[in-house]
Amino acid sequence: MSQTTLQNTDLDTTLRDAKEAYVARNPKSLARHIEALGVMPGGNTRTVLHYAPFPLAMARAEGCRLWDMDGAEYVDFLGEYTAGIYGHSHPVIRAAVDAALNGGINFGASNMTEARFARAICERFGLERVRLTNSGTEANLLAITVATIFTKRKKVLVFDGGYHGAVFGFAGGGSPINAPFDYVLAPYNDLDATRALIAQHAADLAVVILEPMMGSGGCIAALPAFLHMIRAETARVGALMILDEVMTSRLSPGGLQTVRGVKPDLTTFGKYIGGGMSFGAFGGRGDIMDLFDPRRANALPHAGTFNNNVLTMAAGLAGLTQVYTPEAAVSLNARGDALRERLNAASRAVDAKLQFTGIGSMLAVHTTRGPILSPADAAQGDQKLKELFFFDMLAAGIWLARRGMMTLCLPIGDAECDKLVAAVEEFLSARASLLAAG
CB atoms within 10 A of CB 51: 15
Q: How far apart are CA 366 and CA 363, in angstroms?
A: 10
Residue among 385, 394, 384, 381 nearest 54 (CA):
394
Residue among 418, 436, 437, 438 nearest 350 (CA):
436
Quick one: how many helices (H) and strands (E) in the chain? 16, 16
pLDDT of residue 4: 36
Residue among 265, 239, 226 nearest 373 (CA):
226
Rounded to 5°, the CA angle 61-63-69 comes to 15
Query: β-strand 405-407 against 280-284: which pairing, if any?
Result: unpaired
| Segment (H or E) for 18 | helix 11-25
Q: How far apart are CA 337 and CA 2, in angstroms?
A: 33
CB atoms within 10 A of CB 236: 11
Handedness of CA 396, 11, 16, 357 (dihedral sign): positive
Tens digits of per-residue pLDDT, 402-417? 999 999 999 999 999 9
Tens digits of per-residue pLDDT, 95-130? 999 999 999 999 999 999 999 999 999 999 999 999
- Bond before 53 cis per omega within 30 degrees: yes
pLDDT of residue 437: 66
pLDDT of residue 298: 95
pLDDT of residue 9: 61
| Helix, strand, coil share (%) of the chain residues, nearest 5 | 45, 15, 35
- Residue type (1 letter), 76: D
* Domain architecture of the chain: domains with CATH: 32-85+326-436 (3.90.1150.10), 91-323 (3.40.640.10)
pLDDT of residue 438: 59
Rounded to 5°, the CA angle 5-59-20 comes to 20
- pTM for the complete prediction? 0.96
**pLDDT in 10s for each residue of the chain, 438 residues:** 444 344 446 999 999 999 999 999 999 999 999 999 999 999 999 999 999 999 999 999 999 999 999 999 999 999 999 999 999 999 999 999 999 999 999 999 999 999 999 999 999 999 999 999 999 999 999 999 999 999 999 999 999 999 999 999 999 989 999 999 999 999 999 999 999 999 999 999 999 999 999 999 999 999 999 999 999 999 999 999 999 999 999 999 999 999 999 999 999 999 899 999 999 999 999 999 999 999 999 999 999 999 999 999 999 999 999 999 999 999 999 999 999 999 999 999 999 999 999 999 999 999 999 999 999 999 999 999 999 999 999 999 999 999 999 999 999 999 999 999 999 999 999 999 999 965
CB contact set of 302 (below 8 Å; sequence gap of 6+): 131, 142, 292
Beta-bridge partner residues of 169:
163
pLDDT of residue 7: 44
